[in-house]
Chains A and B, each alone.
Chain A
Amino acid sequence: MLQSLAGSSCVRLVEQHRSAWCFALLVLGYLLYLVFGAVVFSSVELPYEDLLRQELGKLKQRFLEEHACLSEQQLEQFLMRVLEASNYGVSVLSNASANWNWDFTSSLFFASTVLSTTGYGHTVPLSDGGKAFCIIYSVIGIPFTLLFLTAVVQRIIVYVTRRPVLYFHIRWGFSKQVVAVIHAVTLGFITVSCFFLIPAAIFSVLEDDWNFLESFYFCFISLSTIGLGDYVPGEGYNQKFRELYKIGITCYLLLGLIAMLVVLETFCELHELKKFRKLFYVKKDKEEDQVHIMEHDQLSFSSISDQAASMKDDQKANEPFVTSQSPTSNDSSLNN
């Protein structure tokens, strides 16, 4: 879902106001929102987790007392309970009792995985209140995340892509297309090594039983927001500096997501790719210039009413990447 970033209205906001204060406020608001979610999750879920642990402890006691003449039925019942607990991320082993799933940093990690729609599932809200809050939190938080990411990515793109490309185009004299392609590929390589290869190496060292492939697999599954949850860092027994580690991972995932989107936008702005995409998105033939100019104001809102007014079919009403083209058409019309 996050890949089909829209937020055309917030691109407008950024373009129109361009004030650093608005942007700073947005970033601050977003971080505060995450912290708020972490606090609420922690306070709602920790008591329930405590209860579940105590219950399991008692169950174990009884098992120990009754192990003579144990019937299969009883064993099955016990195993079912163990299974249920395991599905909720609670282990029955004594040396794992140090890991809490809902302390503050873990809740922060959980909140960030919910808002990025990754959703590992190693920790899930146990109580009804937690589940209800999760829904409400996401309904507000996911559009918020989209807004946030769009704004951040639009800002970064200017410094990382547009200015360097322009600079090299002017300085070296190559055509813009060539510079853009070289830049995009280079950026892709840098991002892959900084956000996949290096973190994978770090994780394979920090986590006991992860090899490099598994760490890379984790990085990919997380940054693509699939989030299967088979590998979650910081869940090993007696993990040192667990709180710091969890915070570090949260930051990594957020930055990684932003980096992925920046690279995606960069590639989407490539001229060749635009032509290739038109194969899939544009049905009717229109001249190139008209397409660019029209796309600047392209909200489906206005397009729906325009269609109603003109009684023609609009061919690009719901283009996901239309936001990336509108600033480009501005720049290209200024520079060309």
Chain B
Amino acid sequence: KAMCSGKLQTGLLVAGYFVYLLVGAAVFQALERTAEKQEKMAAAQMKEAFLQNFTCLTVVEMEQFMKNLTEAIQNGVYPVGNKSQTEDSNWDFSNSFFFAGTVVSTIGYGTLRPKTAGGQIFCVFFALFGIPLNIVFLHRVGKMLSLLCKKLGKFLYEKGMRKKKIKFLTLLFFLATGILVFLCLPPLFFQITEGWSYSEGIYFAFITLSTIGFGDYVVGKQPDRNYFSYYRTLVAIWILFGLAWIALLFNL
């Protein structure tokens, strides 16, 4: 009976966490999409005007153009590429979901940023409740991982090893497998899907799992590559388990 209620609690927690993320994604999308569309139209118009006037450009005009360009870039709008790319929104559902995940895990890449006042206020409250929720969630996921360690410890104890040695070996095992699975193997995967070098992949993996999250490397953002569906979901699962492993590691 105790086990049943424990499972139910865990199930509810997991479900609650995903519902929270979905709700966040939907709200972000609703708040940010129109503002983004307007920015894109303005950027396209600016580019058109520039192309029409490019003969006999003065320094002042070019500076003005560059200034506008920089502002557009800082708003997350990249004035390069042809028409079809500008129709993919930065704030469609899967991107908003990814953004919600990065906020709640405190990674915060920053490639996607709420621009409207409403989006920013919502972001604050979303994070205020989402971060503790994320901690509790990761704690539970971490427990799943630690079960492996416990099994190993039991096995070694039955073989007659001393406690201290068991402690040391289980920690070593935990550390080694974690580094292999979360830091060494994914860059190989990223070499194929993103075209990064192996060291860039490690850099990205480390910056992400430590929740620093600069945003200079982000998965699924290169415009000239085809990503298979659920690519970002797979990466999100990797990030989730990796974060749980790191949190568990610090608790050891």
Contact = CB atoms under 8 A, between A and B. Distances in A.
Interface of A: 1, 3-4, 6-8, 63-64, 67-70, 72, 75-76, 79-80, 82-83, 86-88, 91-94, 113-114, 117-121, 124, 128, 131-132, 134-135, 138-139, 142-143, 146, 213-214, 216-217, 220-221, 224-230, 279-281, 283-285, 299-302, 304-305, 307-309, 311, 313-314, 317-320
Nearest to A301: B167
Contacts of A142: 210
A121 B48 CA distance: 31
Contacts of A131: 199-200, 203
Contacts, number: 219
A213 B166 contact: no
Interface residues of B, number: 79
B44 interface: no
B237 interface: no
Interface in B186-203: 199-200, 202-203
Dominant SS among interface residues on chain B:
helix
B238 interface: no
A233 to B, nearest CB: 15
Given A86-B70, A304-B150, A311-B154, 15 more contacts: A63-B62, A67-B62, A70-B55, A93-B63, A119-B214, A213-B120, A213-B121, A221-B108, A224-B127, A227-B110, A230-B113, A280-B13, A280-B136, A305-B153, A308-B166
B167 A226 contact: no
B215 A82 contact: no
Nearest to B136: A280
Contacts of B170: 304
Contact of B199 (A7, A93, A128): A128
Interface stretch (B18-26, B73-81, B89-97): B73-81
Contact of A82 (B6, B69, B124, B149): B69
Given A119-B213, A138-B206, A301-B171, A283 B106 contact: no
A82 B156 CA distance: 59
